[in-house]
Amino acid sequence: MSQSEQTLPLVVLTNPIHPDGTALLAAHARVVTAPDTRAETLRDLAAEAAGLIVRAQLPDDILDHAPKLRGIVRHGVGLDFVNLPAATARRVPVANLPGSNTGAVSEYVFSALLHLRRGLAGLDARMRDAGWLAAKTGANDLMEIGGGTLGILGLGEIGRQVAETGSRGFGMRVLGHSRTPKSFGGLVEAVDLHTLFAESDAVVVACPLTPETRGLIDAGLIGRMRPNAVLINVARGPIVDGEALAAALNACTIAGAALDVFALQPLPPDHPLFACPNLLLTPHVAGTTGTSLRRMGVGAAQEMLRILRGERPLNLVNPEVFAGP
């Protein structure tokens, strides 16, 4: 390493980011990608880091091992990967990228909902295996999503986009529940949790993981769902009681579910969820497309460079760090 390179600030990536983002950083900083996301690895790398770009869970004590840290940027939106109170206490700015994957997650929601309702993959397989007539009659009991009721838990950027697509794209009635009731100009009808689960044909989980939302969707709420209703989780796995959901699917008391996130990730290959009927499983990719990854990679790099220049990041989530002494 040349002497000039040694004088550049070190930015540690917990995981690779889009090459355009890496190139943007590399013009102004030394960039190191962690070889793995084990706590001890991240602690070791943080020792010399001026900045962290985060795509994986940070150890809660990471700041105890990062004396030179000047800022943290979340490659995405959710902040549960970062010990925000600790960062604020040490006056370390934390930024995220709201809206960076909103479109991708919203598209995933409706892809999953159409998969559950129209079952095109199943019809394709049946046509190939059993023939035209068997596949054709298999569509007789499928349901349309247009005109149904869409319930959204969490009305942030993603919740709003899902509401707009459901209402304006499919003519759905939209119910919503969030910490701060929102209607978005009459687009969403604010309701309590029990009403949301009892009256929705499809429930979309899009709220952040907090102590209050951990385990929130339990057997009681799932038991309020209609027999033809489906559940889609694009938020965080621990919000939904996996055992209660599996029991409902196995008993056919709800029509189906789609899970992109899980309490344990990666999901072990022998996990009981794999045996559940009418369950779509994907490996935490709702917000992942080539388009969104570039947007997040470049956006994270730009925010980190602002921090390294001593500027206030555009999407600062702990503004207290820029307050007076």
pLDDT tens-digit profile of 213-266?
999 999 999 999 999 999 999 999 999 999 999 999 999 999 999 999 999 999
Q: 261: domain range?
A: 102-281
149 with 274, same domain? yes
Same domain, 41 and 154: no
237 backbone dihedrals φ, ψ, rounded to 5°: -60, -45
Q: What is the mean pLDDT of residues 300-304?
A: 98
Q: Which two tokens stand for residue 10?
A: 């070190």
Residue 24 has pLDDT above 80, yes or no: yes
Do 308 and 254 fall within a single domain? Answer: no
Same domain, 225 and 273: yes
Q: 144 with 267, same domain?
A: yes
Q: How far apart (Å, rounded) are the C-alpha atoms in residues 210 and 4?
A: 43
How far apart (Å, rounded) are the C-alpha atoms in residues 104 and 95?
20
Q: Let me know whether 296 and 208 are in one domain.
A: no
The predicted model scores a pTM of 0.90
CATH number of the structural domain spanning residue 213:
3.40.50.720
Three-state DSSP class for 182?
coil
Quick check: 315 and 303 in contact, CB under 8 A? yes
Q: Are strands 51-54 and 71-74 parallel, antiparallel or unpaired?
A: parallel
323: confidence class by pLDDT, cuts 50, 70, 90? confident
Q: Are residues 164 and 96 in the same domain?
A: no
149 contacts 201 by C-beta, under 8 angstroms:
yes
Count the domains in the chain: 2
